[in-house]
A and B are shown apart, each in its own frame.
Chain A
Amino acid sequence: MTSSPPRLRALPLIGVTLWVGLLVLASVWMSRQAYRWLPVQASTAAPLVDGLFSFETGVGTFVFLGVISVMVWVVLMHRADKYDETDAEPIEGNTRLEVVWTAIPLVLVMAIAAYAIRVNTSLGVLGPMEHIHLHNSVEAQGGYPGDRLPAEGIEVIARQWSWEFRYPDAGVSSTELHLAVDQPVTFRLVSEDVIHGFYIPAFRLKQDVIPGTAINFNLTPTREGRYRLRDSQFSGTWFAANQADVVVESRDAHSAWLKQAAAQPLQPGLNVAAAEYAVRSKKSKAGWATVPPAPPPQVNVPGSDRLLHDA
Chain B
Amino acid sequence: MTSATFPASEPQPSWTRYFSFNTDAKVIGIQYIVVSFFFFLIGGLLAMIIRGELITPEADLVDRTVYNGIYTMHGTIMLFLFIFPVLNGLNNLLIPTMIGAPDMAFPRLNAVAFWLVPIFGGLLIASFFVPGGPAYSGWWSYPPVSIQNPLGHLVSGQGLWLTAVALSGVSSIMGAVNFVTTIIRMRAPGMGLFRMPVFCWTALAAQSLQLIGLPALTGGAVMLLFDLVAGTSFYRPEGGGDPVLYQHFFWFYSHPAVYVIILPVFGVFSELFPVYSRKPLFGYVYVALASFIIVGLGLVVWVHHMFPSGVAQWMRNLFMVTTMLIAVPTGVKVFAWLGTLWRGKLRLTTPMLFCLGGLFNFVFAGITGIMLATVPVDIHVSNTYFVVGHFHYVIYGAAVMGVFAAIYHWFPKFIGRMPYEGLGKLHFLLTFVGANLNFLPMHPLGLMGMPRRVSSYDPEFAFWNVMASLGAFLLGVSIIPFLLNMVSSWVRGPKATHNPWNAIGLEWLLPSPPPEDNFGEHVPTVISRPYGYGTGEPLVENQEAIERALTLQEARA
Do A and B interact with each other, yes or no? yes
Are A88 and B370 in contact (CB-based, < 8 A)?
no
User: In the bound complex, what is the Cα–Cα distance between A136 and B150 (angstroms)?
Assistant: 42
Among B238, B278, B309, B332, which residue has its beta carbon within 8 angstroms of that of A80?
B278
Q: B148 contacts A234, CB within 8 Å?
A: no
- Complexed CA–CA distance, A80 and B367 (Å): 31
Q: Using an 8 Å CB-CB cutoff, how does the interface string of A8-52 with B read, 1 for contact, 0 for none?
A: 000000000000000000000000000001110000010011001
Interface assignment of B374: CB less than 8 Å from any CB of chain A: yes
Query: In the complex, what distance in Å separates the CA atom of A98 from the CA atom of B380?
Result: 35
Q: Is B370 a contact of A112 with CB atoms below 8 Å?
A: yes
| Residue of A68, A117, A240 contacting most chain B CB atoms (<10 Å) | A240
**A119 interfacial by beta-carbon distance below 8 Å:** yes
A90 and B64 contact, CB distance less than 8 A: no
- Is B513's CB within 8 Å of the partner chain A? no
Contact with A along B412-440 (1 / 0, CB 8 A): 00000000000000000000000000000
- Tell me if A7 counts as interface (CB < 8 A to partner B): no
Name B151's closest neighbour in chain A (CB-CB): A289
Q: Roughly how many angstroms separate A292 CA and B95 CA in the complex, as a whole number? A: 52
- Residue B360 CB within 8 A of the other chain: yes
B328 touches A105 (CB 8 A): yes
Asked if residues B310 and A90 are in contact (CB atoms below 8 Å), the reply is no
Chain B residue numbers with a CB within 8 Å of A237 are 64-65, 68, 136
Encoded as 1 (CB less than 8 Å from any A CB) or 0, chain B from 319 to 363 comes to: 011001101100110111011011111111000000010011001
Alpha-carbon distance between A98 and B443 when the two chains are bound, in angstroms:
32
Point out the residues of chain B lying under 8 angstroms from A206, CB to CB. 308, 379-380, 382-383
Instruction: Say if the beta carbon of B451 comes within 8 Å of chain A.
Output: yes
Do residues B332 and A208 form an inter-chain contact, with CB atoms below 8 A? no
Which residue from chain B places its CB closest to the CB of A232 in the assembled complex? Answer: B383
Select A201's contact among B66, B144, B148, B380, beta carbons within 8 Å.
B380
* Segment of B35-43, B169-177, B454-462 engaged in the interface with chain A: B454-462
Q: Which residues of A contact B134 (CB under 8 A)?
A: 288
A:38-87 near B, CB below 8 Å: 38-39, 45, 48-49, 52-53, 56-57, 60, 63-64, 67-68, 70-71, 74-75, 78-80, 84-87
A117 CB, nearest partner CB in chain B, Å? 5
Tell me the complex Cα distance, A280–B242, Å.
Answer: 33
B543 at the interface (CB under 8 A from A): no
A-B contact pairs, 23 of them (CB 8 A): A37-B444, A52-B376, A64-B363, A71-B338, A74-B343, A75-B346, A80-B278, A87-B278, A91-B342, A93-B286, A105-B327, A116-B375, A116-B376, A117-B320, A126-B313, A129-B311, A206-B308, A207-B310, A208-B310, A211-B238, A228-B458, A240-B59, A276-B64
Q: In the complex where A75-B346, A75-B348 touch, is A288 in contact with B339 (Cβ < 8 A)?
A: no
When distances are taken between beta carbons in the complex, the residues of chain B under 8 Å from A38 are 380, 447-448
The contact of B367 among A63, A74, A215, by CB within 8 Å, is A63
Interface-located stretch among B116-124, B400-408, B527-535? B527-535
CA distance A208 to B356 in the complex (A): 39
Contact of B284 among A93, A121, A126, A233 (CB under 8 A): A93
| B residues near A119, Cβ cutoff 8 Å | 374, 376
Chain B 253-286 near chain A by CB (<8 Å), digits 1 or 0: 0000000000000000000000001111011111
Contact A286 B63 (CB under 8 A): yes
The answer to whether A93 and B282 touch (CB under 8 A), given A210-B309, A211-B237, A288-B69, is yes
A93 nearest CB across to chain B (Å): 4
| A108–B315 CA distance with the chains assembled, in angstroms | 21
Q: Does A139 contact B (CB under 8 A)?
A: no
Q: Do residues A90 and B344 form an inter-chain contact, with CB atoms below 8 A?
A: no
- The answer to whether A88 touches B345, judged by C-beta atoms less than 8 angstroms apart, is yes
Option from B68, B144, B384, B502 in Cβ contact (under 8 Å) with A193? B144
Contact indicator B312/A130 (Cβ below 8 Å): yes
A234 touches B64 (CB 8 A): no
Q: Please, which residues of chain A bring their CB within 8 A of the CB of B212?
A: none
B residues near A (Cβ < 8 Å) are 59, 62-66, 68-69, 131-134, 136-138, 142, 144-145, 148, 150-151, 157, 237-238, 242-244, 277-280, 282-286, 308-313, 315-317, 320-321, 324-325, 327-328, 331-332, 334-336, 338-339, 341-348, 356, 359-360, 363-364, 367-368, 370-371, 374-377, 379-380, 382-384, 443-444, 447-449, 451, 453-458, 502, 532-535
Determine whether A138 belongs to the interface, using a CB cutoff of 8 Å to chain B.
no
Contact B310 A215 (CB under 8 A): yes
Name the contact of B144 in the complex, choosing from A97, A120, A211, A276 (C-beta under 8 A): A211
Chain A residues lying within 8 Å of B348, measured Cβ to Cβ, are 75, 79
The 3 A-B pairs with the shortest beta carbon distances in the complex, nearest first, are A201-B449, A288-B133, A212-B237
Instruction: Point out the residue from A84, A85, A287 that lies within 8 Å of B65, measured CB to CB.
Output: A287
Contact assessment for B356 and A125 in the assembled complex, using a CB-CB cutoff below 8 Å? no
The verdict on A290 contacting B377 (CB below 8 Å), with A91-B343, A195-B144 known, is no
Does A194 belong to the interface (CB within 8 Å)? yes
User: Closest chain A residue to B317 by CB distance?
Assistant: A117
Known A-B contacts: A91-B280, A91-B343, A127-B315. Give 11 more (CB < 8 A): A56-B374, A63-B367, A89-B343, A94-B283, A116-B376, A120-B313, A123-B379, A130-B313, A231-B451, A239-B455, A289-B151
A195 touches B145 (CB 8 A): yes
Q: Return chain B residues, CB-CB under 8 Å to A210.
A: 237, 243-244, 309-310
> Is the beta-carbon distance between A211 and B243 smaller than 8 angstroms?
yes
- Chain B residues near A193 (CB, 8 Å)? 144
Which single residue of chain B is at the shortest CB-CB distance from A70? B338
Contacts of B367 in A (CB 8 A): 60, 63-64
Contacting pair B331 A101 (CB below 8 A): yes
How distant is A119 from chain B, measured CB to nearest CB, in Å? 5
Question: Nearest chain B CB to A173's CB is how many angstroms away?
Answer: 24
Interchain CA distance A94-B348 in the complex, whole Å: 26
Q: A71 to B348, alpha carbons, bound, how many Å?
A: 12
Which chain A residues border B382 with CB–CB below 8 Å? Answer: 206, 232
Contact indicator B62/A120 (Cβ below 8 Å): no
Enumerate chain A residues within 8 angstroms of B59, measured Cβ to Cβ: 240
Given contacts A48-B376, A68-B363, contact A102 B332 (CB under 8 A): yes
Q: A87 contacts B310, CB within 8 Å?
A: no
A204 within 8 Å of B (CB atoms): yes
**Do A120 and B449 touch (CB < 8 A)?**
no
Beta-carbon contact of B374 and A52 below 8 Å? yes
Residue A153 CB within 8 A of the other chain: no
Tell me which residues across on chain B come within 8 A of A63, comparing CB atoms. Answer: 363, 367
Q: A85-B502, A105-B327, A235-B145 are in contact. Are A311 and B449 (CB under 8 A)?
A: yes
Instruction: Enumerate chain A residues within 8 angstroms of B375, measured Cβ to Cβ.
Output: 116, 120
Alpha-carbon distance between A113 and B328 when the two chains are bound, in angstroms: 13
A289–B345 Cα distance when bound, in Å, is 59
Taking A71-B341, A74-B341, A93-B286 as contacts, is the C-beta distance between A240 and B455 under 8 angstroms?
yes
The CA-CA distance from A219 to B62 in the complex, in Å, is 38
A120 neighbours in B (Cβ, 8 Å): 313, 316-317, 320, 375-376
Measured between C-beta atoms, what is the minimum distance from A25 to chain B in Å?
A: 18
Inter-subunit contact B449/A228 (CB<8 Å): yes
User: Could you tell me if B150 and A127 are in contact, using CB atoms closer than 8 angstroms?
Assistant: no
> A130 contacts which chain B residues (CB < 8 A)?
312-313
Q: A288 to B136, Cβ gap below 8 A? A: yes
With beta carbons under 8 angstroms apart, the residue of B138, B282, B312, B377 that contacts A49 is B377
Residue A236 at the chain B interface, CB threshold 8 Å: yes
Residue A287 contacts which of B63, B312, B320, B328 (CB distance < 8 angstroms)?
Answer: B63
Query: Given the complex of chains A and B, what is the CA–CA distance between A115 and B375 in angstroms?
Result: 11
- A204-B360 contact given A98-B286, A105-B327, A211-B243, CB 8 Å threshold: no
Beyond A80-B345, A195-B243, whether A39 also contacts B311 by CB under 8 A is no
Which residues of A lie under 8 Å from residue B443 when comparing CB positions? 37
